[in-house]
Chain A
Amino acid sequence: MNRLDKFRESFLWYSFKRDKVAIASLIVLMVLVLAAIFAPLIAPYNPYDPEMIDIMNSEIPPAWEEEGVAEFLLGTDSQGRDMLSTMIYGMRISIIIGLGAVALQAILGVLIGLFAGYHGGRMDAFFMRAADVQLSFSYLMVAIFMSAILQAVVGVAKFGEIAIPFLVLVIGLSQWPQYARTVRASVLAERKKEYVEAARVAGFTSSRIILDQIFPNTLSPILVLSTIQVANAVMSEAALSFLGLGMPIDRPSLGSLINSGFELIFSGAWWITALPGLLLVILVLSINMLGDFLRDVFNPKLYKG
């Protein structure tokens, strides 16, 4: 039996077929992600190309409004960029940062959680206190602090180039305790089971017991947590960019787009803020819905962080 057939017979696929919300959110998410991946092919304009931007086109409302033009389906922003293209490219950046930050969190948090949970004692106490300390710093505060230092060191112009890895680092480092705690809790339950003892009797080294034997048993809470954390990371990125600490306006993410239109919202140009905001909500909502579905299927006793 190959893997595809096995998946078709699995409980995951069975419950997925019967859950309309899950199907709808997966479709929405797939459309958004595919649009983000193939942004250069789909977007009608390239928002990074200064030659395609004409300041005379600025603040044109969406096509269905009275002053709208068919060329710019969702209107233009204050610099004359096509909103639709800019949003697709912005979503691409948001998703890259979200996935990158979650990958960093997961690697750090899972490793720390596995080893701290298995070994216990001082190592456990040290890392869990470190997690408590980390969680008592607001990530916004850390981000403000770090970006201020970084901008002073490399200069504002250079900062734009390293903004993506910087955001991945800030969001990733601030959220690892979520993973560490979840994983540690499952490890504490798993390590008392007899198969762990059997592995020890079979002469396995402790790192092999942790990685080969216990880790696969903690995967389902990790998977559920990851969906929620991707949504959280996308939101954190948007919040940081909105505050002007994230992506610069010439390479905007959804958050910096929302920010750029914020000053104009009372002069009637609502679409510059509202449309990226709507896209952000749809993106985060579809991820969260999928996360809820996964949690119901795997049913771990997990606090939805």
Chain B
Amino acid sequence: MTNLLEVKDLVIKFGLRTGEVTATNGVSFSLSKGERLGLVGESGAGKSVTGFSIINLLSKPGYIASGEVNFLGEDLSRVSAERIRDIRGNRISMIFQDPMMTLNPVLTIGTQMTETLHQHNPKMSKEEARNIALDKLRKVYIPSPEKRLRQYPHEFSGGMRQRIIIAIALLTDPELIIADEPTTALDVTIQAEIMELLMELCETERFWKFRKRHRNKIM
């Protein structure tokens, strides 16, 4: 069975004025379909940077110095900008740390969900996009999703927002989901809820990769 994701000898460096800083030095791991993988490390160990490098979104002074990121046999660190955009959010999606920040404050949840769908499939009808969005919201146990679709992010609690972000990550049925410390910003009971939800979705839905926080007990 071919691996879904294979990271080989990944070296990420940050070019600074004072010289180069190596963020990750030869990271290798592989992940097959349906498998979960957790990355544990202290803060600053390079977990987030590794995650961003998979979808080729390292922010400016950072770059991939050597190594490969193979996603279904394709080296994502070398493909064209259009190709990677097609993969991002469509076949690989990502869940961020802080649910308070990752939703656009002035757009309704419904707009944000349907826009993501339209970006990857411009021909999709509005009705169809809405139905997919409703379906995903039900999967993450958002009560009365029809009403919720018309609400803005500030009308949700932190835990609810993280559920919505998970629902957005699920929208296009991606093969791989990178979860970058998805519970850092939440309190302990909600952390447990979100983790349970993610675990459950792993079983029923798709293939996941977890990148998780440095607190081992949640791993």
Contacts and interface: CB of A to CB of B under 8 A. Distances in A.
Contacts of B90: 203
Interface in A191-227: 193-195, 197-205, 208, 212-213, 216-217, 219
Given A200-B57, A208-B119, A217 B98 contact: no
Contacts of A198: 94, 96, 102-103, 165
B94 A201 contact: yes
Contact of B115 (A193, A197, A201, A212): A212
Interface string B5-43: 000000000000000000000000000000000000000
B1 interface: no
Interface size class of B (residues with CB under 8 A): 20 to 34
B148 interface: no
A222 B85 CA distance: 31
Contacts of A194: 96, 98, 101-102
Q: What are the 5 A-B residue pairs with the smallest beta carbon separation, nearest first?
A: A203-B89, A202-B89, A194-B101, A203-B88, A198-B102
B176 interface: no
Interface of B: 55, 57, 85-90, 93-94, 96, 98, 101-107, 115-116, 119-120, 165, 168
Contacts of B104: 195, 199, 213, 216-217
B107 A216 contact: yes
Interface of A: 193-195, 197-205, 208, 212-213, 216-217, 219
Contacts of B94: 198, 201
A202 B57 contact: no
Given A212-B115, A213-B107, A216-B107, A203 B102 contact: no
B106 A203 contact: no
A205 B104 CA distance: 16
B98 to A, nearest CB: 6
B57 A201 contact: yes
Contacts of A197: 57, 96, 102
Contacts of B96: 194, 197-198, 201
Given A201-B57, A203-B119, A212-B115, A195 B89 contact: no
